[in-house]
Every structure is written in C-alpha cells, then in structure tokens.
A = this chain, B = another copy of it.
Amino acid sequence: MSLTPEQQAEIDALRASPAQTLRVVSPGMEAHLYRAYPVLDHGFVRVIDYMGDDAAICQAARVSYGKGTKSVQNDEGLIRYLMRHWHSTPFEMCEIKLHVKLPVFVARQWIRHRTANVNEYSARYSILDREFYIPEPDALAAQSVINNQGRGEALSGREAERVLEYLKGDAARAYDHYEEMISDEGQQGLARELARMNLPANIYTQWYWKVDLHNLLHFLRLRADAHAQYEIRVYADEICKLVADWVPAAYSAFEDYRMGGANLSAKALECIRQMLKGAEVTQESSGMSKGEWREFRALLE
C-alpha cells in the first residue's frame, strides 16, 4: 500500500480530533475510522463514515412491531430472527462509507452491485498514478481445468517468470507512453480522457463507496465466497473484519445463515428426508443433474 506521508498525517489528524455527538456510536467501528487497511500490493480499504449499530437494526424492527424502542437483552435473538426470515429492511437502516483503492478490473466487478453510491477518481479530469497490481507468486494461478471461471494451482518456474515480465513490462511501457502522450512539453498533449485508454486493467483507481448494511452483506456473501475471484475476495475479507466490529450481532447471524449456510432445493430436501429414514438415494433417483448432485454431496460431507 502506498499512503503518502501527507495522507498519513491527515489520517492521524482526523483520528486525533474527536467531537461530541448525540448519535448512536459503535465503539468497535470508531477504532477503525479513517485507518487504511492494506489489500493487494497497492490497495486499501478504509472507513470514512458510518451510521447505526446493532441496536439501530433492532430499533427499526421494533417500529414495525410497534413496541417502544429498546430492550437490550434480546437484541441478538431478534437480529437472528430477522436474518433467518429475510426481513431485510431493518438491516438497511445502517449505512457505511468506504474509501477503497483497487485495480480497475476489480472495480469493474464491484460496480455491478448497483444499490450503492459511488464517487470514483476521474481519469478524464486527473492523471492516474503509476501503480499496477502485480500478483504475488502464490496468486499467479493457472486456468482451472474443471471450471471455466476458476483457477488451478500457481504457475511455476519459467512460466511464472515470463508472466511477471509481461505484466510488469507492459504496464511500465503503457504508463510511459501515457505520460508521454499527455505531456504538453513541446507538443499539444493528448486529452486525458483519451490517453487513459492505453492503460491496462491492473492499474489502480479509487473511490468512495457508500452502501447500506443489507446490500453490503449481499455483496460480502457473493464476494467473500470461495468462488469469487481472489483479487476481489481479499477486499471482501477485509471488509468482513470491519463489519464484525461494527455490528457484531448482525455479522454473527450473517456468518451462520449466509456465509456458512446453503440453499437447498425441494429435490435436495426430499433426498435428505429419505436419507434420514435410511433410504438409499442416488443421483439417478434424486432427479438432480450430475453437477447438482456433486454439489449436494459435497455439502453433506
């Protein structure tokens, strides 16, 4: 990660100036505010602001149920109930604003989550920094031979070396030419909005990303999942830690019902019922396809 001394000084200054508020405060989150947590080689995630906590989720739920505002003792049970029954609106009552620095190809996946607010660094307006994501050796993975959309083992030897040479060399050359094209020394200088098209998808961008807790958890369920691309999963993993400190009860329920849980089809449920009765069930008798059956079996082991 590359925070300039200037940026670090700004973070320190912000963290040194507490103010009084009448709002709900999450002590777990206050400890994280503004701090930049490194992700990948030059990226980071940091919390700029937040609204609400576990109690705010319950408070909103209790508006619906028409009972006062608080009854601290059962908050955890209520949150588990809400999560289990997909009562999502109370989770929407919490909000978080993150500052993220990330490679463009990760940003392109991330932005597909539409229910969020975004302000991204504009390469029409400003000049991008010379920072590119270059994978660590163990992240330099081969194409999976069983999954068109996945990875196999890490490359090794000469092949790994060559890939790194290409990635580094092409990025460096592309950036040199970018700089040269936009330079106005002794020439007109190409418009920034055009010059940026020469830059590869591993260049870093940054944005402010604001989202409510329900939609954030949905993002985390998909992106902290084992099937997500590694380069976005490391961001999701980092955010998971922040959320666990911000709304511990909600995060714990999320882990049980979403991250660790599974969705079973009617066919799968029927198979389980048969199996619990001691019946033999096979892929053929299950009515599932081979792929589905494989996933089902894996779940039970």
Chain A residues packing against B (C-beta within 8 Å): 6, 10, 14-15, 17-25, 30, 33-34, 48-52, 56, 59-61, 63-69, 77, 80-81, 84, 86, 89-90, 92-93, 95, 97, 99, 103-105, 108, 111-112, 114-115, 117-122, 124-127, 133, 135, 140-144, 148-153, 155, 159, 162-163, 166-167, 170-171, 173-174, 177, 180-182, 184, 187-194, 196-202, 206-208, 210, 212, 222, 229, 255-257, 259-269, 272-273, 275-276, 289, 291-292, 295, 299-301
Contacts and interface: CB of A to CB of B under 8 A. Distances in A.
Contacts of A67: 126
15 contacts: A19-B21, A20-B21, A23-B23, A48-B59, A49-B52, A51-B97, A64-B119, A64-B122, A95-B95, A141-B194, A143-B192, A151-B191, A197-B202, A198-B201, A257-B266
Contact of A269 (B15, B104, B299): B299
Contacts of A267: 256
Of A22, A108, A260, chain B has the most CB atoms within 10 Å of the CB of A22
Contact of A125 (B92, B93, B121, B148): B148
Contact of A201 (B95, B197, B265): B197
A111 B111 CA distance: 8
B291 A210 contact: no
Nearest to A127: B66
B49 A143 contact: no
Given A148-B125, A149-B125, A207-B63, A261 B266 contact: yes
Given A17-B22, A141-B191, A210-B92, A181 B163 contact: yes
Nearest to A10: B69
A80 B292 contact: yes
Nearest to A134: B197
Contacts of A133: 197
Contact of A199 (B125, B182, B201): B201
B155 A188 contact: yes
Given A52-B97, A65-B122, A199-B201, 12 more contacts: A18-B22, A63-B120, A93-B97, A111-B112, A112-B118, A114-B114, A141-B190, A143-B191, A162-B181, A167-B197, A174-B174, A272-B272
A197 B259 CA distance: 28
B262 A256 contact: no
Given A92-B210, A200-B200, A266-B260, A119 B18 contact: no
A130 to B, nearest CB: 14
A272 to B, nearest CB: 6
A266 B255 contact: yes
